[in-house]
Amino acid sequence: METLKLNHKHRGLFLSLEGVDGVGKSTQAEHLRAFFEAQDRTVVITREPGGTALGVQIRRMLLHGDDVSPRAEALLYAADRAHHVATVIRPALEAGHVVISDRYIDSSLAYQAGGRELSQADIRELSEFATGGLWPQRTYVLDMSFEASRARLTGEPDRLESAGSAFFERTREAFLRLARQDARRCRVIDASQSVEDVWAQIHADVEQLS
């Protein structure tokens, strides 16, 4: 994991929120924003794909365009992430800010290596290259069943949301497996609880990092 050179009052802090669609990542990101802003920290909330102008175009292609082959999909996510890290995440961390990303490398490992059944080693190597080895200090994996996730989704489903229950289960299990493999960084939280109960668990943990 890369060590950033910081010359500010606060050290940069990088957090990511992971999990399948519908688990409440954006809601918990706003709770985290309020928590850190109450400590007079500058907070940058971002997402993948779509955290930059280039990312918005890639997001549109990936989620709402024509079918994309699994390998091309993985490369597009990596391109988005490389630009995202270079122009948003790394500068914010070097300035001593808190960065909260709705999805990061774990999503590629779960969706492309898990759901799409590509090689985990290939996806990890591609992600390491795209980010220069930059990983979050903490990742919150919000876990939920297929039925509960679908019950929360509204609007027209995108390509990933339409992939079906087998794809969902492979992706969900990949998230849980990744969390077990990197238990020091990852915290798994049952997202079927109330928003308040989920936040209580994140809050108790993030207080130790702030």
Domain ranges of the chain: 14-207
Residue 51, annotated as binding a ligand: no
> Is 23 annotated as contributing to ligand binding?
yes
pLDDT in tens, 13-39: 999 999 998 899 999 999 999 999 999
Query: 18: Cβ–Cβ under 8 A, 6 or more apart, which residues?
Result: 25, 103, 104, 106, 107, 110, 139, 140, 141, 142, 175
Residue 88 known to bind ligand:
no
Fold topology of 14-207 = Rossmann fold (3.40.50)
For the chain, the straight-line distance linking the first and the last C-alpha, in angstroms and rounded, comes to 19
How far from the centroid of its chain's Cα atoms is residue 158's Cα?
17
Structure tokens at 173: 């299990």
In the structure encoding, which two tokens stand for residue 118, read together? 């590509």
Alpha-carbon span 155 to 136, nearest angstrom? 31
Per-residue pLDDT tens digits for 130-142: 999 999 999 999 9
Q: Any known ligand binding at 25?
A: yes
Tell me whether residue 132 is annotated as binding. no
Ligand-binding site membership of 19 (annotated): yes
Is 56 flagged in the annotation as binding?
no
Q: Is 26 assigned to a binding site?
A: yes
32-71 per-position pLDDT tens digit? 999 999 999 999 999 999 999 998 999 888 877 678 898 9
